[in-house]
Amino acid sequence: MKVLVLNGPNLGTLGRREPEVYGTRTLTDLETMLTNRAREVGLQVSCRQSNHEGQLIDWIETEPSDAIIINPGALSHYSLALADALRSSGKPVVEVHISNVFAREPERHRMVTAAAAKGLISGLGFEGYLAALDYLASLSD
């Protein structure tokens, strides 16, 4: 199974960005963790990050994959376009947030893209992405 891992706006600056919220590990650290775990559970991952909604949608439409893990960043809270793209991919989607968005400002409680996902993991840090990968591996058993 090929898993496309997408990180949206401002996730390229992990490690420097609000470390008290998102920790000190970088996007490269995250992608290395995912690549290693994927190898252990017999999946292939390809990881992409963009600050641009349209680029994320283009990847959802064109990148070959069987499943998607996505952290849409702030787009989660308002992007119907991204939700539509995820829904029309027809693939199992797991949405991940590093922080617990429900313990944060009320404007982060509105989750638009999660409605197009099979499930949502929020607040488990980088380990949430690994949990998503393990879940997807269980689908291909």
Catalytic residue list contains 129: no
| CA atoms of 23 and 90, how far apart (whole Å) | 33
Sign of the four-CA dihedral 19, 120, 109, 70: positive
Query: What's the closest the beta carbon of residue 10 comes to ligand DQA, in angstroms?
Result: 5
Q: Which is nearer to ligand DQA, 1 or 13 (CB)?
A: 13
The one-letter amino acid code at 88 reads S
Q: Which is nearer to ligand DQA, 1 or 55 (CB)?
A: 55
Structure tokens at 4: 């496309």
Structure tokens at 62: 């064109």
Contact map string, positions 49 to 88, toward ligand DQA, x by CB under 6 A: ----------------------x-xx-x------------
Structure tokens at 73: 């960043």
Q: Which is nearer to ligand DQA, 8 or 92 (CB)?
A: 8
Distance of CA 89 to the CA centre of its chain: 15
β partners of residue 2: 44
Tell me: does residue 121 bind ligand DQA (CB under 6 A).
Answer: no
Residues that bind ligand DQA in the complex, under the rule CB under 6 A:
10, 71, 73-74, 76, 97-99, 101, 108
